[in-house]
Structure 1
Amino acid sequence: MKEIQVWEYVIKWGLAQNPGLPSDPTNFSKDDFNTLKNTLQQCIPFIRFHNLNSIEFSKKVLPYKKILSKELYKELLNHFLENDIKESLPRISISKQKSTLDITKVTNSDKESQEVEKNLEEAFKRYKKAAEDGNEVAVYNLAGCYKYGKGVEKDEIKAFEYYKKSADQGYLNAQFELGYCYDSGIGTKTNKTKAFEIYKIA
């Protein structure tokens, strides 16, 4: 059984123990989350969250983030956000007809390092162009380029600035990263209070 199925069964069991809870977590009150959290507190430590992929985490776990401890939530957030960028940098192409982003992954398999570097530099240029047009996803990915030095010289201050810009545009992943920047002092002074406020909003 896949780990995401284990998580779904655990949630389903928890809801069954509390028939008064809404089936949709978006309708949960603070007390509803606390009720489910108390019911599942002995189960959650056995969930192998790191076996999930970022999409499963985003769609299936994040809606129930308030039943996780702050420490676990923060650790998982950092894990999925950082690995998503470190392991693969998306490359975008912009359709002239639709003016939309077509995002694919740049991988190292069967590619010479020189070709990969060229692709990363081209991806950075495309991100920058799309970011100038106001696309919040491109702004977020541009921040990742600066943070990890992908296709451009590493610059954590610029990374922070672009994460903030994307977050201000309402992009959820950027809000998480911005909170992490404040929490860890990446491109800005460490501000735990500010980080907590952003994590809470996101």
Structure 2
Amino acid sequence: MSAELLAGKGSSKVERVITSGTFSLDGGTWDVDNNVYVIGDDSSCVVVDAAHEAGPILDAIGDRELTAILCTHSHDDHISAVTDVLAAHPNAQVRLHPDDRVLWDMTLSQPPSDELADGETIKVGELTLTVIHTPGHSPGAVCFSIPEAGVLLSGDTLFQGGPGATGRSYSSYDTITDSIRTKLFALPADTVVFTGHGDPTTIGDEAAASDGWERPEGA
């Protein structure tokens, strides 16, 4: 599948590739499709979540320099292609919030090369990604706000229809809903939310529906 253009500013753009594989945790395994995002201009780019299959991700990168793989969190489905992508781009950094190392180490033996910090900004061409630490789905889950493009890359923190899954190891429903209400709902209502799985939504739509959220059984 070719990369889909989602948004941009000037020569810089946000593209999506969908990859497929499995997610395993707590003794269960599920088939999942993941959204992988490639952000950059004609010369360099970053990847947000190297999931499942390196081939489609490398095709989207093309002949550009990959400067970093930025991880929204480290459930295995979101990092399973990191090693193969790095094999093709060995100078790229792999960056993860330190609170998610406990999950990273369940999947990969090679440590990430650098940490992500709440409030940090990452310049990518004409776009600026701001790191927002949103624990709940996992301890070190982060989102990336790209205000010039009116976009939020929410990982598995916020979906069309509400919060990401909790009730599994290292997750908390109370924590994820607090992260969303205090940090993500502070963004402009027309911000388009591109999620880790499935279809996009907006901050305004999810905020308007949030009074109807119900705690999932077991969360």
TM range (shorter): under 0.3
TM-score, normalization by structure 2: 0.25
Q: For CA contacts below 8 A with separation 6 or more, give which structure has more relative contact order.
A: 2
The answer to which structure has the higher helix fraction is 1
TM-score, normalization by structure 1: 0.27
Task: From the CA coordinates, give the structure whose radius of gyration is larger.
Answer: 1
The answer to which structure has the higher strand fraction is 2
